[in-house]
Amino acid sequence: MKEPIDEEYVKAAELVSKYIRGDISAAEYNELMDMLKKYPTLHSWIDNQNLPLKDISKRLTDYQTIDIEKDWQSVLKKHHLDSERKPKYRIWWAVAASVIAVCVVGGSFLLKNKEEDSLAEKKQEITEIVPGRTVATLTLSDGTTTLLEEQEHRTLVDGDITLALSGSTLDYQIAKDATPQQHKLQVPLGGTYHIRLADGTNVWLNADSELEFPSSFIGDERKVKVRGEAYFEVARDATKPFKVLVGKTEVEALGTAFNINTHLYKEEIKTILTEGKIKVSTPADYKIIEPGYAAISGKEGIKVGKADVEEALAWKEGYFYFDSKRLKEVLSDVARWYNLELDVTVPLADKRYIGGMKKSESIEAVCAVLSDLTSYRITVQGKKLVVK
C-alpha cells in the first residue's frame, strides 16, 4: 500500500482551507506561502478566485441530512457482522465514454443495512414506484390461468399433475412421470420468475418474457419455446438433447448454461453461453458456440462474438448489467423492470455505458444515478420515465 499521508501535508490542506474561508492569521499566511513553494499544485487554490464555492455549499447541504449517530450504529453492526463475511461492493457504474466517470451506488453491505432501515420508511410512502417482483402467470393445458405471486407456498393441480410452488420457484420435477401437458409461463413487465422443469433444468425468466414447455419430457428430445429473455441451466442428459425454440432460431444443448435474449435487438436473438456447448441454428445456418461466446441470430444468419458472461448472469442474480450499451437500451431495460413507459423528449447522445445496479433499488435512486451520469434529467412522472 501507499505510504501514509504525512502531517505536513494535512497541515497544508488546513492552511488552504483557512485561506479560502478567510480565517487565516498573518503567521499562518506566511506558513502557507512557504507551503506553496513546496507544493506548487496549491497555487490553483490561491490564485484562482473562482473557487468552487457553489459545489461546496451544495455538498454542505447534503451533509445536513446525514445522521452521524445512525451511521455509527451501522459501523457497529458491520463490525459485528464482519466476522461472518467481508464487505463486497457489488454495484457499480461507469461511463466509458465520458471524462467524469465512475459513480458507485453503495456496497451490498451498506445496502443491506439500509434496506432494513428503509423498509419501515417505504411503507409510509404512498405513491412509490416499486421495482419488479417475482410474479408470473401460468397457463395450464385446459387454458385456465393462475397467478403466481411472490413468496407463495401451495400446490397446483392440472389433470393428474400436482405441482409444488414454493417461494419464487415452480417445480415440475415431481411431475416427471405424468402424462405431459403443454404449459405456458408468462412473466409480465416488472417481474422475474424461476421454474424447474421436469428434467431438472432450471429456467429464469426475465420481465416481459414467456416460456412454453411440457409438464414432462417424453420422446428423444426436450423441447421448449421462449420469447423475451431467459437463462437456462440445462440438466445433463446425453440421450435427450435440450432444444429451445426462439422465433426461427433453435438452440440445442446438452448439459450447459446459457442466456437467450430477444429484447435487445429488433428481430434478432442474442444467446450467450456460460458453460458447456450449444448449437445455434436458423433455417439457413448453424454455429457451434463455445463458453464465453455469444451468437446473434436473425434474418441475416448467425454472428458469433466474444460475450460478456456477466451480462447473462446479472439479471438473474438481481442486478441490471450493461456492457457498452447505448443509453436508449439502458433506459428501456430500466423502464421494463419498473413497469414504466419510456418517454424520451430529446435526442440521446450515442455514448455507451457500462455498469450495473441492484434491481431492488428504488426508481428514485436509479433516476438519480442515471441523471448524475448523463447530461439528461431523468425523472418519473406518473407511469412514465421521462428523459429531458
Partner 1 sequence: MISVLTETQIKILFEQYYIPLVEFSWHIVKCQDVALDIVQDTFVKILEKKEELPSHEKAIKSYLYSSVRNTALNYLRHQKVQHEYYRIHPLNEIDDARILDAMIYAETIHNLYKAIESLPKSCQEVCKLTWLEGKSNSEAAELCGVSINTIKTQKKRSVELLRHRLAPVFSALKNFILIFF
Q: What is the DSSP letter of 133?
A: B
> What is the total count of residues that contact partner 1 (CB under 8 A)?
66
Q: Kindly identify the residues of this chain, within the stretch 60-89, that bind partner 1 according to CB under 8 A.
A: 60-64, 66, 68, 71-72, 74-76, 78-79, 82, 87, 89
Please report whether residue 10 would count as binding partner 1 according to CB under 8 A.
yes
Please report whether residue 291 would count as binding partner 1 according to CB under 8 A.
no
* Contacting residues for 202 by C-beta, under 8 A, at least 6 apart: 194, 195, 196, 232, 233, 235
Per-residue contact flags (x/-) with partner 1 for residues 93 to 112, judged by CB under 8 A: xx-x--xxxxxxxxx-xx--
Please report whether residue 2 would count as binding partner 1 according to CB under 8 A.
yes
Please report whether residue 306 would count as binding partner 1 according to CB under 8 A.
no
- Is the CB of residue 243 less than 8 Å from the CB of residue 224? yes
Report the C-alpha gap between 308 and 234 in whole angstroms: 20
Q: Phi/psi class of residue 208: alpha, beta or left (left: φ > 0; alpha: ψ in -120 to 50)?
A: left
Stretch that binds partner 1, among 57-65, 115-123, 148-156, 229-237 (CB under 8 A): 57-65
Stretch that binds partner 1, among 39-47, 118-126, 153-161, 220-228 (CB under 8 A): 39-47
- Is the CB of residue 282 less than 8 Å from the CB of residue 300? no
Nearer Cβ to partner 1, position 6 or 142? 6
Nearer Cβ to partner 1, position 19 or 293? 19
Nearer Cβ to partner 1, position 68 or 157? 68
CB of 253 to partner 1, least distance (A): 28
Max Cα–Cα distance, the chain, nearest Å: 93
H-assigned helices in 271-322 = 309-314
* Contacting residues for 300 by C-beta, under 8 A, at least 6 apart: 268
Per-residue contact flags (x/-) with partner 1 for residues 345 to 384, judged by CB under 8 A: ---------xx-----------------------------
- Is the CB of residue 96 less than 8 Å from the CB of residue 353? yes
Other Cβ atoms less than 10 A from the Cβ of 289: the count is 23
Please report whether residue 12 would count as binding partner 1 according to CB under 8 A.
yes
Please report whether residue 26 would count as binding partner 1 according to CB under 8 A.
no
Give the SS3 label for residue 352: strand
Please report whether residue 27 would count as binding partner 1 according to CB under 8 A.
no
H-assigned helices in 213-362 = 309-314, 327-337
Please report whether residue 92 would count as binding partner 1 according to CB under 8 A.
yes
Nearer Cβ to partner 1, position 92 or 286? 92
Report the C-alpha gap between 22 and 24 in whole angstroms: 6
Question: What's the distance, Cα to Cα, between the start and end of the chain in Å?
Answer: 44
Please report whether residue 47 would count as binding partner 1 according to CB under 8 A.
no
Phi, psi at 114, each rounded to 5° = -65, -40
Which parts of this chain interact with partner 1 (CB under 8 A)? 1-2, 4-7, 9-14, 16-17, 19-24, 39, 41-42, 45, 49, 51, 53-54, 56-57, 59-64, 66, 68, 71-72, 74-76, 78-79, 82, 87, 89, 92-94, 96, 99-107, 109-110, 310, 354-355
